[in-house]
């Protein structure tokens, strides 16, 4: 202990350089895909349905719609409608959706497939 200007200072002893251990290696968690919750309703409905996407991908959206509305995944095509423009839905579009985005959902059946259109509101 040293006394300096009325203050008692305690010196901390440091171990020799060879005894200093490096910090343990960091364990990185695998990146978890974020889930996305979308609210959809048909034009004629007042109440929304929730679609929980396990990941922000077209396959996850297709799976959620298929489960909720009993449309076969392999015969369903999904489109986005925005300001009158109809766009083929893909992973890039879905990646930019936020939790609780809302859409009007239209499901049209033709002879051999289903056409699902989401219009953001």
Task: Name the pLDDT band for 111 (thresholds 50, 70, 90).
Answer: confident
Q: What is the pLDDT of residues 76-108, one digit of tens each?
A: 999 999 988 999 999 999 998 888 999 999 999
Residue 11 in any domain: the answer is no
Number of domains within the chain: 1
Mean per-residue pLDDT, 35-48:
95
Residue 23 in any domain: the answer is no
Q: Which domain holds residue 110?
A: 28-120
Helix (H) / strand (E) containing 5: none
Provide the token pair at 87.
Answer: 């766009």
Residues 6+ positions from 91 with CB-CB distance below 8 Å: 56, 57, 58
Report the CATH number that the domain containing residue 97 is assigned in CATH: 3.10.20.90
């Amino acid at each position: 202990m040293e006394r300096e200007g009325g203050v008692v200072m305690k010196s901390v002893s440091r171990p020799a350089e060879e005894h200093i251990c490096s910090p343990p290696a960091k364990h990185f968690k695998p990146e978890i895909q974020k889930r996305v919750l979308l609210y959809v309703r048909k034009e004629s409905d007042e109440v929304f349905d929730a679609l929980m996407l396990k990941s922000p991908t077209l396959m996850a959206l297709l799976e959620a719609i298929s489960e909720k509305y009993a449309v076969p995944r392999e015969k369903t095509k999904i489109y986005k409608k925005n300001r009158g423009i109809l766009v083929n839905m893909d992973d890039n579009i879905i990646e930019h959706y936020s939790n609780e985005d809302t859409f009007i959902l239209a499901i049209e059946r033709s002879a051999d497939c289903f056409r699902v259109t989401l219009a953001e509101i």
